[in-house]
Amino acid sequence: MQRRIFLTYTLLFLVGIIITGLLSLGFMQKSYMENTEEKLIANGNLVNLFLQERIKKDDLQSIDFTKLAHEYSEKISARVTFINPGGQVIGDSEVNAENLYKMENHLHRPEIQEALSGRIGKSKRVSSTTDVNYIYVAVPLIMGERIDLITRLAFPLTEINRINFMLMQNVMIAALCGMIVATILGYRYVNSVTKPIKEITKTAQSIANGSLNNRVYVNTSDEIKILADTFNIMTEKLNATISELWDKNTKLQSTLTSMNEALFAVDKSYKIMLMNPVAKTLFKIEDEQVMGRHILEVIRNNRLHDVLKDILNSNNVGQTEITIDYPEQKILKIYTNFIRLDMDPNRIIGVMALIQDVTEMRKLEKMRSDFVANVSHELKTPLTSITGFIETLKNGAIENEKVRNRFLDIIEIETERLSRLIDDLLSLSAIEHDRLHFTKKKIKVNEAIREIGDIVEGLAAQKEIKLVFELDGSLPEIYGNPDWFKQMMINLVDNAIKYTLHGGSVKVLAYKRYENIFIVVKDTGIGIPKEDIPRLFERFYRVDKARSKKAGGTGLGLAIVKHIVLSFDGEIKVNSELGKGSEFIIRIPL
């Protein structure tokens, strides 16, 4: 700004000097020309006055006008020419007397024509005799009522041009000196004017960058002082407003971040106005800049967009439950409400949505429902058998020893089955309840696994199954519940033996890798279909229900194994192929 003002000021001053110089030069040139003409006229009249006195004494024909022309020319510093009324030159200060006849007749010269009419003639042109540009003044010599002679004086314009050049030179020097002085004074003045503006601009930039405590200090008493004071007042109000907004925004962000539910708001154009981190995590949104973008561009879920669209179109808010498939399959419960302006409650500007991810809740509800149904079924089946056989015995079959003994054996088997089921349910409940609160004890892995081998060795021998244990001799101790650990191993090895055909093999491996202990139970049994592996550890889930019941299983063994593994902060994986066997891999961190 300072440069622009200074350049504008300098340009205007320069234009003013040029215009003033040109006008002054023109005025001086005109004045000098007029003075020169008046001087020539005065000298011409004076020469004519002397000639009148001379003519009164002598005859006109006897006067040597060439000599007089030279004498007067020296005295008045101008060319002097005497011309008779016929236009013939009878004397000239620039031409000798013997050469006068060579000069052409001047009768038709404009200044001579004007002088012959009784007025003073004036003209500017190049002389055909001397080839010099002159200003001519012709003064008629009137004796009585006739013109006897014309005295013409000429002043060379080259001299006038030289004088004009000197005048122009002086004007330019004066203009240059004035320009230098004006530039220095102008720069100081512009600097004094723009310095407060620079201060205001600098302070405004620092405020824009966040330094709201800066103020402008100006020592002037003009409008800039008023501007600076107004600017300071505006800054204080802005600082207070921003502080208040920052405080409110911090509280809002803290509230939104602390929420466990997803929350977002959209305007009537379905552009996002607000979204908390939980919502971004729920919909796997990685982009931080989501404000102002269309909801489909950010969340990319048509079902959610349709819900919001229906709310805005029907003005019907409340709660609804939807299932989405992207970014992953989830069940969401959505609570919605309108966003209204404080100053105009009747005006709706958007919709606020609170979202709860109820996927796990619905899964647990389904698992609980399935569990109740499975437990009821598992309990009802043996109880029905026992009740039926008891009624049969009461109706007289008890008298038949053979029938009675067979029915009592069946009742005993079903009773043992109920007992195993109840024991497994109690074990599972105890593991789930005490998994995080039980007292941990040292477990020597190799010794515990060998004890399990002694327990199941008889079962393997009955089916001629080769039972192999490959244990790392330097396995470190782990901490946990020793009884649970043994039950976990019994369930895995017992299952492997049950589902391995006669003459097969079961291998148990234990080794240490990367601060973890790995336990592998591998068999050559019937295998597990791939589609059943994800549900393998669910309660009462059986791959082959008929075969499982025939083998005496309750459907809770692997669910118990999973919860025991979790009590050790470990994980369990399954690899299996139909007809080739299964492999259960347990990782327990040290």
- Cβ 264 vs Cβ 308: under 8 Å: no
User: DSSP characters for 4-39?
Assistant: HHHHHHHHHHHHHHHHHHHHHHHHHHHHHHHHHHHH
Report the pLDDT value the prediction gives residue 438, as an integer from 0 to 100: 62
Q: Measuring CA to CA, which residue among 122, 139, 6 is closest to residue 80?
A: 139
- Cβ 501 vs Cβ 580: under 8 Å: no
Report the pLDDT value the prediction gives residue 468, as an integer from 0 to 100: 92
Q: What distance in Å separates the CA atoms of residue 351 and residue 348, rounded to the nearest whole number? A: 8
User: DSSP characters for 460-474?
Assistant: HHHTT-EEEEEE-TT
SS (H, E, C) 75-102: HHCCEEEEECCCCCEEEECCECHHHHHH
Report the pLDDT value the prediction gives residue 547, as an integer from 0 to 100: 47
Taking only Cα atoms into account, the Rg of the chain, rounded to an integer number of angstroms, comes to 62
Q: Let me know if 15 is exposed, middle or buried by CB neighbors in 10 A (0-12, 13-18, 19+).
A: exposed
pTM of the full structure: 0.44
Q: Provide the CA 155 distance to its chain's centre, in angstroms.
A: 81
List the Cα angle 93/100/112 in 5-degree steps.
75
Q: Give the CB-side neighbour count of residue 112, counting CA atoms within 13 A.
A: 17
Q: What distance in Å separates the CA atoms of residue 366 and residue 543, rounded to the nearest whole number? A: 19
392 backbone dihedrals φ, ψ, rounded to 5°: -65, -45
DSSP summary character for residue 475: P
- Cβ 354 vs Cβ 263: under 8 Å: yes
Per-residue pLDDT of the chain (590 residues; tens, 9 = 90+): 556 666 776 777 777 777 877 777 777 777 878 888 888 889 888 888 888 888 777 777 778 888 888 888 888 888 898 888 888 988 888 888 888 888 888 888 898 888 888 889 888 888 777 777 888 999 998 887 788 889 999 888 776 677 777 777 877 787 788 778 777 877 777 777 677 777 777 777 777 777 777 777 777 777 777 877 887 888 888 888 888 888 888 888 888 788 888 898 999 888 998 888 888 888 888 887 888 888 888 888 788 888 888 888 887 888 888 888 877 888 888 999 888 887 787 888 889 899 988 888 887 777 677 666 666 656 666 777 778 778 777 777 777 778 778 878 778 777 776 776 676 667 666 666 665 556 678 898 899 898 888 888 888 889 899 999 999 888 899 988 888 888 889 889 988 998 899 999 999 999 998 889 999 999 999 998 888 888 888 877 776 654 445 545 567 778 888 888 988 889 999 999 888 899 999 999 98
SS (H, E, C) 299-314: CCCHHHHHHHHHHHHH
Report the pLDDT value the prediction gives residue 89, as an integer from 0 to 100: 87
Report the pLDDT value the prediction gives residue 504, as an integer from 0 to 100: 92
